[in-house]
A and B are shown apart, each in its own frame.
Chain A
Amino acid sequence: DTAVSQTPKYLVTQMGNDKSIKCEQNLGHDTMYWYKQDSKKFLKIMFSYNNKELIINETVPNRFSPKSPDKAHLNLHINSLELGDSAVYFCASSQDAAYGYTFGSGTRLTVV
């Protein structure tokens, strides 16, 4: 029973398209996150939600819009995809960031 699951695992799409990535956690955690991992493996936070409320919104283009219908789900919608959006996107959840996250297995987005 996967704790943090995200879909799809792979996403290949053309520039200019709109796409969504879905994430669900069954750990009962209050906080969920989206991180972006670049080609050098550096992980950078994009957004976090606490019980459906947006808490962290880092410097991310407004083409990226997170949505949290309930505290177990956090989706990421990306409009007008650009080549530079190609990366691996990770969803994570935690009860307290100071004690650690549980990550999903990632979505590899390739924009061609």
Chain B
Amino acid sequence: TQLLEQSPQFLSIQEGENLTVYCNSSSVFSSLQWYRQEPGEGPVLLVTVVTGGEVKKLKRLTFQFGDARKDSSLHITAAQPGDTGLYLCAGGSSNTGKLIFGQGTTLQVKP
């Protein structure tokens, strides 16, 4: 069974601080995706990484896929209150056709 462990589960920080969220598995995935979910809404795709070692940047967010394609990290620089939300990592497989989600990280950024 493929599992993704996400840490930390909860994070409360002050505006302007940096943070990193980790997503780890013992399984290899075709891709690793990061989503953000706001209350009352569905998850929204932020980024997909597909190549081991790949780094992608989205404004203040930096995503990295591990060399072995088993883990990923999300780093936010100078967090803003607008970054508050639930961050979900998900491992994708073209073979199985399904996404396996981590437990999520609830981020609160206080002004």
- State whether A98 and B93 are in contact (beta carbons under 8 Å apart), knowing that A103-B43, A104-B42, A106-B41 are contacts in the complex: yes
- State whether A98 and B45 are in contact (beta carbons under 8 Å apart), knowing that A48-B98, A106-B40 are contacts in the complex: no
A97 close to B42 (CB less than 8 A): no
The tally of residues in A whose CB lies under 8 Å from a CB in B reads 26
A33 close to B98 (CB less than 8 A): yes
Residues of B within 8 A of A (CB): 30-31, 33, 35, 37, 40-45, 48, 50, 86, 88, 92-94, 96-101, 103-104, 106
- State whether A90 and B42 are in contact (beta carbons under 8 Å apart), knowing that A42-B104, A97-B92 are contacts in the complex: yes
Residues on A with beta carbons closer than 8 Å to the beta carbon of B37: 41
The distance in angstroms between the C-alpha atoms of A40 and B99, with both chains bound, is 18
Residues of A within 8 A of B (CB): 4, 31, 33, 40-45, 48, 50, 55-56, 90, 92, 96-106
Residues on B with beta carbons closer than 8 Å to the beta carbon of A104: 42
Among the listed B41, B48, B101, which residue makes an inter-chain contact with A99, where contact means beta carbons less than 8 Å apart?
A: B48
The distance in angstroms between the C-alpha atoms of A90 and B94, with both chains bound, is 21
**Closest B residue to A47 using CB positions:** B98
The distance in angstroms between the C-alpha atoms of A21 and B99, with both chains bound, is 21
B48 close to A97 (CB less than 8 A): no
Residues on B with beta carbons closer than 8 Å to the beta carbon of A4: 42
A100 close to B92 (CB less than 8 A): yes
B44 close to A43 (CB less than 8 A): no
Distance from A88 Cβ to chain B, minimum over Cβ atoms (Å): 9
User: Can you list 27 residue pairs at the A/B interface with Cβ under 8 Å?
Assistant: A31-B97, A41-B106, A42-B101, A42-B103, A42-B104, A43-B101, A45-B99, A50-B97, A56-B97, A90-B43, A97-B92, A97-B93, A97-B98, A98-B92, A98-B93, A99-B31, A99-B50, A100-B33, A100-B45, A100-B48, A101-B43, A101-B99, A102-B45, A103-B42, A104-B42, A105-B41, A105-B42
